[in-house]
């Protein structure tokens, strides 16, 4: 067994840096928190190359005395506490004394600082944890940190970072959280020479929300205000929650702050989502900017090196406070969502009973064959994708950025070459009916009886009654039309909209838009910058022109940002376009329109099921009907 030896200080600092300095955004967070603790009311953050080349943070806080400069970079050196009991009442954002030592251990750091009333400032340079120089310098009051070449001496860690644009997005998100939690501080964020975010520092939380997220969100907020007493001490929850029309496919906009600190906590997430459950669809998440103020000894933020997690002494009380406060705020507003009628209870019960029965022999065989066929087809598609990716990497597109930009168009075309590989194979209609309804011969003989429930069309042919679901049938027609256009033109038909649809995007979403713009164009979108964090959507897929909205666009973008460029995802989106654009159940259709719909079904390869697998047509024979009326026994 090897002998145990003490690690060198430089090695200890690099190990500690791995916990505190996870990425450039963590450096920015620690330094901004120090600036706020120093009383700054104006902070400027500048990045180059996502923060890897340079991070410059300037504040107008109280600055550092010359004799404190060296000590500030020692591990566990802090002015925020002096004994263990202070942890129970700590009110500052930073307190461990690890941040500066950790940052300096993995970068080339320069500090320029000057206190109020001092004749000269101080310039201190430290690289890889080793002091290089300490000298007097003329400078304004406050502090400026310059962090260059982050992770230059730990290349293995840098290897696992994202692209500079993505890392800049993470930093932008972090600054948003800090700007919301400290609206009294004016923030400016500059990335590669461009101003990405600027707040006024007026102290208004709602104004900060407007500057960061735009007018769409700021105009759809409900105020939250509730106080609970825990003995003689008060716990207060204030802030805003968004109306249900503001939603995302992830939890990025579920923001809450504990005593001025942005925190992640499962109890608070659960309370928010439970309060919204009656108002929001499944897998949709709301916007919240909530501020919880409670005695320091009620919460422990010292459970993680980045101070991004918290534990409560009374979780049930916090949950109840938040859930009741949000529910109350939502109930006070007139929120009338568009809803569809539920299923008939008797029919639903019968359907469940039917699903519980074992399948008939023919059905068992069909299901087994479908599973085998689908598995075989998906295996083929996986091999296609693997081959494509290997070819792309062999062509030099090794970086994530290069791979996405160069491959987007080619990959989208490739994944649609074999569309039948991603949905079920159905039995031919000739196996089920003596004369197929969807044939030129049947078209001359069938008789359209009429429409029932404004949804289903009844068609008589020989000794059978056919029932056509107008929505499912129209959806399938649109789907195959879109699919054919995509295969032939490599894109969908676009339709200009006026006025354009204006959407507000976070920095992360803006980066996702830039990376996925080629595939969005192929899907039929035309998008241009509109100023600030807003973008104008000038054109949408032609079939969606009447239903284009922000939620639809963001749903597309979020799926692409998650890397869902698989055959399933693209075909699912084509199916989604068709579903939303198809005539709905309950809408009246003329006899002429139904005739046209049947004609179009005749041209399809698989007209018997919609893209989601539901049948477009069902039938009942004359024999079955006569049995129901007891004409035959």
Whether pLDDT at 381 is above 90 = no
CB distance 36 to 162 below 8 Å: no
Q: Please tell me whether residue 252 adopts helix, strand or coil conformation.
A: coil
Whether pLDDT at 428 is above 70 = no
Q: Look up residue 14 and give its two tokens.
A: 């690099």
Query: Is 146 part of a structural domain of the chain?
Result: yes
Whether pLDDT at 437 is above 80 = no
| Better-predicted residue by pLDDT, 325 or 515 | 325
Query: Is 525 part of a structural domain of the chain?
Result: yes
Query: Is 500 part of a structural domain of the chain?
Result: yes
Q: Which CATH number do you get for residue 50?
A: 3.30.565.10
pLDDT tens profile 125-170 = 999 989 999 999 999 999 999 999 999 988 888 888 999 999 999 9
Residue 125 has φ and ψ, to the nearest 5°, of -120, 130
**What is the share, in percent, of the chain residues with pLDDT greater than 90?**
30
Q: Identify the pLDDT of residue 19.
A: 59
Per mean pLDDT, which range of 55-59, 64-68, 109-113, 441-445 is the poorest? 441-445
Q: Identify the pLDDT of residue 419.
A: 39
Confidence band for 495, pLDDT divided at 50, 70 and 90: confident
* Strand stretches in 78-155, DSSP E: 108-114, 121-127, 130-137, 142-148
pLDDT tens profile 8-31 = 666 566 555 555 688 999 999 999
Mean of pLDDT values over 377-386: 44
Q: Which CATH number do you get for residue 554?
A: 3.30.1540.20
* Residue that terminates a domain, selected from 305, 332, 359: 332
Query: Is 279 part of a structural domain of the chain?
Result: yes
Q: Which CATH number do you get for residue 236?
A: 3.30.230.10
The predicted model scores a pTM of 0.59
Residue 309 has φ and ψ, to the nearest 5°, of -125, 155
Residue-number span of the structural domain to which 501 is assigned: 426-620
For residue 277, the 8-state DSSP code is T
Same domain, residue pair 195 and 249: no
Whether pLDDT at 445 is above 70 = yes
Whether pLDDT at 405 is above 60 = no
Q: What is the 3-state secondary structure (H, E, C) of 441-453?
A: HHHCCCEEEEEEC
Confidence band for 394, pLDDT divided at 50, 70 and 90: very low
For residue 360, the 8-state DSSP code is P
Per mean pLDDT, which range of 207-211, 412-416, 435-439 is the poorest? 412-416
Residue ranges in 499-566 assigned as alpha helix (H): 507-522, 550-561
Pick from 72, 70, 68, 67: nearest CA to 34: 72
Residue 38 has φ and ψ, to the nearest 5°, of -85, 5
Mean of pLDDT values over 530-536: 88
Same domain, residue pair 190 and 221: no
pLDDT tens profile 267-276 = 899 999 989 8
Query: How many domains does the chain contain in total?
Result: 3
Pick from 258, 257, 253, 228: nearest CA to 241: 253
Chain mean pLDDT for the chain: 76
Residue 410: exposure state from Cβ atoms within 10 A (0-12, 13-18, ≥19): middle
Whether pLDDT at 83 is above 70 = no
Query: Is 411 part of a structural domain of the chain?
Result: no
The tokens 């989208």 sit on which residue? 412
């Amino acid at each position: 067994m090897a002998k145990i030896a003490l690690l060198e200080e430089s090695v200890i600092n690099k190990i500690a840096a791995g916990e505190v300095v996870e990425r450039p955004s963590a450096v920015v967070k620690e330094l901004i928190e120090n600036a706020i603790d120093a009383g700054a009311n104006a902070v400027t953050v500048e990045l180059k190359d996502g923060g890897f080349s340079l991070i410059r943070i300037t504040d107008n806080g109280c600055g550092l005395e010359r004799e404190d400069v060296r000590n500030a970079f020692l591990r566990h050196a802090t002015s925020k506490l002096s004994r263990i009991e202070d942890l129970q009442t700590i009110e500052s954002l930073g307190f461990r004394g690890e941040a500066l030592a950790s940052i300096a251990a993995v970068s080339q750091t320069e500090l320029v600082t000057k206190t109020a009333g001092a004749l000269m400032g101080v310039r201190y340079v430290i690289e890889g944890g080793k002091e290089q120089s300490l000298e007097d310098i003329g400078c304004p009051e406050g502090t400026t940190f310059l962090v260059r070449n982050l992770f230059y001496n730990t290349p293995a860690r840098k290897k696992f970072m994202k692209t500079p644009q993505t890392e800049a997005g993470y930093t932008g998100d972090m600054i948003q959280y800090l700007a919301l939690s400290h609206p009294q501080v004016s923030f400016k964020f500059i990335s590669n020479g461009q101003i990405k975010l600027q707040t006024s520092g007026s102290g208004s939380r709602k104004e900060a929300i407007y500057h960061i997220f735009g007018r769409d969100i700021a105009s759809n907020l409900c105020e939250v205000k509730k106080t609970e007493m825990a003995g003689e001490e008060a716990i207060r929850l204030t802030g805003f929650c968004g109306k249900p029309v503001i939603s995302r496919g992830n939890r990025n906009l579920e923001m809450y702050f504990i005593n001025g600190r942005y925190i992640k906590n499962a109890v608070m997430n659960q309370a928010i989502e439970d309060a919204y459950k009656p108002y929001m669809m499944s897998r949709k998440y709301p916007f919240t900017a909530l501020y919880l103020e409670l005695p320091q000894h009620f919460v422990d933020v010292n459970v993680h090196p980045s101070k991004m997690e918290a534990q409560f002494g009374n979780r049930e009380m916090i949950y109840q406070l938040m859930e009741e406060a949000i529910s109350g705020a939502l109930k006070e507003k007139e929120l009338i969502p568009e809803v569809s009628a539920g299923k008939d209870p008797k029919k639903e019960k019968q359907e469940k009973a039917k699903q519980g029965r074992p399948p008939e022999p023919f059905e068992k065989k069909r299901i087994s064959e479908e599973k085998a066929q689908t598995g075989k087809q998906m295996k083929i598609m996986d091999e296609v994708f693997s081959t494509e990716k290997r070819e792309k990497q062999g062509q030099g597109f090794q970086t994530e950025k290069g791979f996405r930009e160069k491959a987007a168009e080619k990959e989208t075309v490739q994944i649609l070459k074999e569309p039948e590989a991603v949905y079920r194979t159905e039995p031919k209609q000739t196996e089920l009916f003596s004369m197929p309804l969807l044939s030129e011969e049947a078209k001359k003989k069938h008789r359209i009886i009429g429409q029932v429930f404004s949804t289903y069309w009844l068609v008589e042919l020989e000794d059978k009654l056919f029932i056509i679901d107008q929505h499912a049938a129209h959806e399938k027609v649109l789907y195959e039309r879109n699919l054919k256009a995509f295969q032939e033109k490599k894109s969908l038909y676009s339709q200009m909209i006026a006025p354009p649809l204006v959407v507000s995007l976070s920095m992360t979403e803006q980066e996702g838009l830039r990376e996925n713009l080629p595939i969005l164009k192929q899907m039929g979108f035309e998008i241009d910058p509109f100023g600030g964090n807003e973008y104008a959507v000038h054109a949408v897929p032609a079939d969606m022109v009447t239903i284009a909205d922000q939620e639809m666009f963001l749903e597309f973008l979020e799926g692409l940002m998650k890397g869902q460029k698989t055959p399933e995802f693209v075909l699912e989106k084509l199916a989604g376009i068709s579903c939303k654009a198809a005539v709905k159940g309950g809408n009246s259709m003329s006899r002429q329109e139904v005739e046209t719909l049947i004609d179009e079904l005749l041209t399809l390869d698989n007209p018997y099921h919609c893209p989601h697998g539901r049948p477009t047509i069902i039938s009942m024979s004359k024999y079955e009907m006569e049995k129901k009326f007891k004409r035959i026994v």
